[in-house]
Amino acid sequence: MLSRWDRLAARDRVWLEDGGLIMGFTTHKDWVAVDRDHVWHPYSAIGADLAVFPVQSAHGVRLRLADGRELIDGMSSWWSAIHGYNHPQLNSALEKQLADMAHIMFGGLTHRPAVELAQRLVALTPDLLQTVFFSDSGSVAVEVAMKMAIQYWAAKGEGVKQRFLTIRHGYHGDTLGAMSVCDPATGMHSLFSASLPQQVFVAAPECPFAAPSCEADSQAMAAALQEQAGEIAAVILEPIVQGAGGMRFYSADYLRRVRGLCNQHNVLLIADEIATGFGRTGKLFACEHAGITPDILCLGKALTGGYLTLAATLTTYDVSHTIAGAAPGLFMHGPTFMANPLACATALASIELLLESPWQARVLRIEKGLHDGLEPCRELDHVSDVRVLGAIGVVELTLALDMKTVQPAFVEQGVWVRPFGRLVYLMPPFVIEDEDLRILTGAVVSVVRRLNEVSGRLAPLSA
């Protein structure tokens, strides 16, 4: 019987190089076939009948496929690549750090990139946020925030405060704690509901971003805190923009009211700015729209400009010193790759690149381009809403999309757009030019216009 290696070698081309046995592929179709049989993708199944598109390289706002086609990226690689791809300043920072060290453990050791990055994040965020915990991803940053809140109250002798209060339509990540504060009904994690901590959910605000008042919306939050504050460690929410839970924008007044309610009922406030941090909404951080300071702030995605995975959880001296002042006298979390030097150095370069650029003018220009370009979708019967805020554009449909037909249709248009559910949305890199933005929005209009109003599939091109 052939070994697993022999079976692979028989299927793929194998050659000797420098005395070692190396597996290779004759064409990109070969490695896509191996991908299909062996590689998990986000929210996918092994062997699924869904197209994946092999990328050979990326530069600026374009992804170059292995077959030579180029796609304008409308996703910023899930909202992280705000400077586009292959940026010389970020490449240089990575290469320079690589010459010193790629990684060292952060337990008992430290290094300059981590300290400088912490210093920069403290300077950029509200004054009360003074301490920084680095982790590997946005989901872990949320886990860290939740553990901080629980340990804070335990250190104060209020260990019964173990639960979290949040609003529906939220998304905070895919790890167990983060899943527990994602929407339990419309979210992606109902399969695991029996294994998750049971949190407290209230209706999400209905007042839109520009609305001046949200008193009615905040009544559900106020009632929940009035009844259950004694067991609530923190309120956690995505400020201003709810991301993967529905791409909803809500009033800054609501966020101000929640901050006030948390103060009134002695509950911490966690702001999940994994998606909104670093300029995406037109402010450096979405909390700035409301002028509030959370007790704990989660950052990720655009932190390194999309180069490497890194996240940060910032908190106050009150939280960090309270945790340190009670048994066991330390915060109980410590990732292996915490504060990876390559990631920290790249994050420093990304932040510098952002702040030295006219990023606010760019986001305003993108906002206008998205508004003008997506507006024709509003006339379509199967479109329920078109909304734009900063460098985020959303077309909400009345029907669920069929990804088997919709995703390839965008590729045929020469753009990379990754819809989900009933939503087609754009979050392009900040460096996108007007003409590329017009192509992106034009592709969205074209594909949405062709959608069958009943099935969500695409009508023929001649339709």
- Dihedral sign, CA of 235, 240, 246, 248? positive
Neighbours of 30 (CB within 10 A): 14
Question: Quick check: is 307 catalytic?
Answer: no
Backbone angles phi, psi at 152, to 5 degrees: -60, -50
Listed in sequence order, the DSSP H helices in 357-462 are 359-374, 403-412, 434-449
Three-state secondary structure call for residue 20: strand
List of E strands, 170-277: 200-202, 232-237, 241-242, 248-249, 268-272
Which pair of structure tokens corresponds to residue 15? 């050659």
User: 443: how many CB neighbours lie within 10 A of its CB?
Assistant: 25
Q: Which is catalytic among the residues 272, 295, 307, 436?
A: 272
Neighbours of 160 (CB within 10 A): 12
Q: How far is CA 296 from CA 107, 186, 235, 452, in A?
A: 23, 26, 10, 45
147, 161, 283, 301: which one is catalytic?
301
Residue pair 269/242 in contact (Cβ under 8 Å)? The answer is no
- The one-character DSSP state at 325 is T
DSSP for 22-63 reads: EEE-SSHHHHHHHHHHH---TT--TT-S-----EEEEEBTEE
Phi-psi region of 42 (alpha: psi -120 to 50; beta: other; left: phi over 0): beta
Rounded distance between C-alpha atoms, residue 34 and residue 305, angstroms: 30
CB atoms within 10 A of CB 218: 22
Quick one: which of 313, 260, 307 has its CA closest to 125? 313
Long-range contacts of 432-439 (CB under 8 A, 24+ apart): 432/61, 432/72, 432/84, 432/366, 433/61, 434/365, 434/369, 436/61, 436/72, 437/366, 437/369, 437/370, 437/373, 438/369, 438/373, 439/72, 439/413, 439/414, 439/415
List Cα–Cα distances, 249 to 80, 234, 378, in angstroms.
19, 22, 17
Please list the helix, strand and coil fractions of the chain in percent, rounded to the nearest 5, in that order: 40, 20, 40
**301 classed as catalytic:** yes
Selecting among 152, 171, 254, 425, the annotated active-site residue is: 171
Q: Are the C-beta atoms of residues 161 and 228 closer than 8 Å to each other?
A: no
The residue whose two tokens read 């507006």 is 375
Give the residue numbers annotated as catalytic, written as ranges: 43, 171, 272, 301
